[in-house]
Amino acid sequence: MKKRVLSGIQPSGKLHIGNYFGMIKRMIEYQESSDLFCFIANLHSLTTLTDSKEMKKLTLDAAMDMLALGIDPNKCHFWVQSDVPEVAELTWILSCITPMGLMERAHSYKDKIAKGIQPNLGLFNYPALMTADILINQSQVVPVGKDQKQHVEMARDIAIKFNNQFGETFVIPKPDIPDEVATIPGTDGQKMSKSYGNTIPIFDDESVIKKAVMGIVTDSKGVDEAKDPESCNIFALYKLFASESEIKELSDKYKAGGLGYGDAKKMLLSKILETFRPFQKKRTELESNIPEVEKILAKGAEKVRITSLDTLNKVRLATGLKY
């Protein structure tokens, strides 16, 4: 049987190339070889996004982005998180067996608070909801970035604790973090993230994409000076798009000197525009047929609720909630 793989993306802003290489490209590959469960995590976004109109818009935008980039609802389960209410019930049940100490050790919560995000119970309990997403679908593999690895480890701990306390109910998931895409650098060298304001968008005007690329931070070495490609943000991003021969050619130019960072940025920009142009065309087509997008999401939720209800009924029976 095919392995069951699960991942989701928050509808929290414009999709960027870090999202694509960190998760979406892998999802598209997984849907060809695995039983893929892929969802729009709008309940997670609710921890920081409280504008209802913006939430609706971003949810549909994220769905269209995913479909345009190659997610095929005929090859995978594709839905919006809030359309499967069983996940909220499981979150509560799991919260009742999760030790406070485990939740208090979550790095993501501390990092978000340190960056000025207002704390709330949902933000603190984020790992329990993520655990419910994973376990309710009996996921075996969870592709994530390095920053989410701890959350998958927490999901494993909670699943093991539940199984030990109530009997074998959940599959124990494993994270999947390929080294080459574990962290996609942003324009300032930090991890590319909307919250850092350092992203390069996919579905935006060419002028906006160009401005982001030309703003990538570099050192102060001049055109004629030799440069270290492995410490350069431009080169790190270029490697995501280029062939081995192209990567070697650019690396040699860095080391030889005579190549300015401005020219390297133009090479990167050309690669980005060339790669995403077909996806942008598909995105425009989807925007002109929103009812069809909504139909796809409704059908996906209906399909995934079969799995979710099956798991939740086992949990209710194991815990005595089914009497």
Of the CA atoms within 13 Å of residue 237, those in its CB half-sphere come to 35
The overall longest dimension of the chain from CA atoms, in Å, is 77
Q: Judge whether 187 and 215 are in contact, CB under 8 Å.
A: yes
* H-helix or E-strand spanning residue 99: none
Candidates 194, 210, 266, 314; catalytic one: 194
**Angle at which helices 290-319 and 126-136 pack, to 10 degrees?**
90
Q: Report the side by side order of strands in the sheet with 35-40.
A: 77-80, 35-40, 4-9, 141-143, 174-176
Q: Judge whether 45 and 269 are in contact, CB under 8 Å.
A: no
Q: Looking at the chain, how many residues does it have?
A: 323
Q: Would you state the structure tokens that stand for residue 78, as one six-digit string?
A: 């594709």
* H-helix or E-strand spanning residue 277: helix 261-287
Active site residue 149: no
* H-helix or E-strand spanning residue 77: strand 77-80
Active site residue 112: yes
Active site residue 248: no
User: What residues are annotated to the active site?
Assistant: 112, 191, 194
